A and B are shown apart, each in its own frame.
Chain A
Amino acid sequence: DVKVTQSSRYLVKRTGEKVFLECVQDMDHENMFWYRQDPGLGLRLIYFSYDVKMKEKGDIPEGYSVSREKKERFSLILESASTNQTSMYLCASSLWGTGLGNQPQHFGDGTRLSIL
């Protein structure tokens, strides 16, 4: 089974801090994704990556950056945390390939981040 591991289940940080959320997958997937999940808004895509050192903006990239130095690891960075970034953050991975749009994404258990 695919395993997507997020480094923390719960995290509390202060306004203005630089925050790192880490995600590791063990199935050699090319694609990795970061979402945030908020009540009434569903899942919104922040950033995604199709390969090492590649990144693409999703729907709500403002205030975030990402890093993909190794294929299995995709980090989400809050450069200067703000209270409106309090949320549940979900990481996912999937296979890539021409005509493989039918590959499902596999999710981690999420990190519930509180910014005080």
Chain B
Amino acid sequence: GDSVTQMEGPVTLSEEAFLTINCTYTATGYPSLFWYVQYPGEGLQLLLKATKADDKGSNKGFEATYRKETTSFHLEKGSVQVSDSAVYFCAPSMNYGGSQGNLIFGKGTKLSVKP
């Protein structure tokens, strides 16, 4: 079945370090791809998205590129801040049959950024 694999956390970085969170997926058809962020005590917020191969989603300094050939959607940021400390979820969408709009969530990667 459809699934998503994220790198396990927690990830601890110093401020201004480079961030990569890996995400690979298996999905039927041609999913759209999303990254969500969850700050402590809050719900999930959409961080960025990509809808077709080679699309690059970007927001708040974060980027991810839709790699169809490797079925990956890795999240990157060149210089993290303490305020980026949160849990990050990769989520491809189901794009067929009766489940259009459903998302498949990874288990999340907790990021802690130290000053």
Contacts and interface: CB of A to CB of B under 8 A. Distances in A.
B89 A96 contact: no
Interface residues of B, number: 26
Contacts of B36: 107
27 contacts: A31-B101, A40-B107, A42-B89, A42-B107, A43-B108, A45-B102, A48-B102, A50-B101, A56-B98, A90-B43, A90-B44, A96-B100, A100-B101, A101-B31, A101-B93, A101-B100, A101-B101, A102-B49, A102-B93, A102-B95, A103-B101, A104-B34, A104-B49, A105-B44, A105-B101, A105-B103, A110-B42
Interface string B57-100: 00000000000000000000000000000000100011110101
A94 B93 CA distance: 12
Interface residues of A, number: 29
B45 interface: yes
Interface in B33-55: 34, 36, 41-46, 49, 51
A90 B60 CA distance: 24
Given A33-B102, A94-B101, 13 more contacts: A42-B89, A43-B44, A50-B101, A90-B43, A96-B101, A101-B31, A101-B94, A101-B96, A102-B49, A105-B46, A105-B101, A108-B43, A109-B42
A41 interface: yes
Contact of B43 (A50, A56, A104, A110): A110
A104 B46 contact: yes
Contacts of A73: none
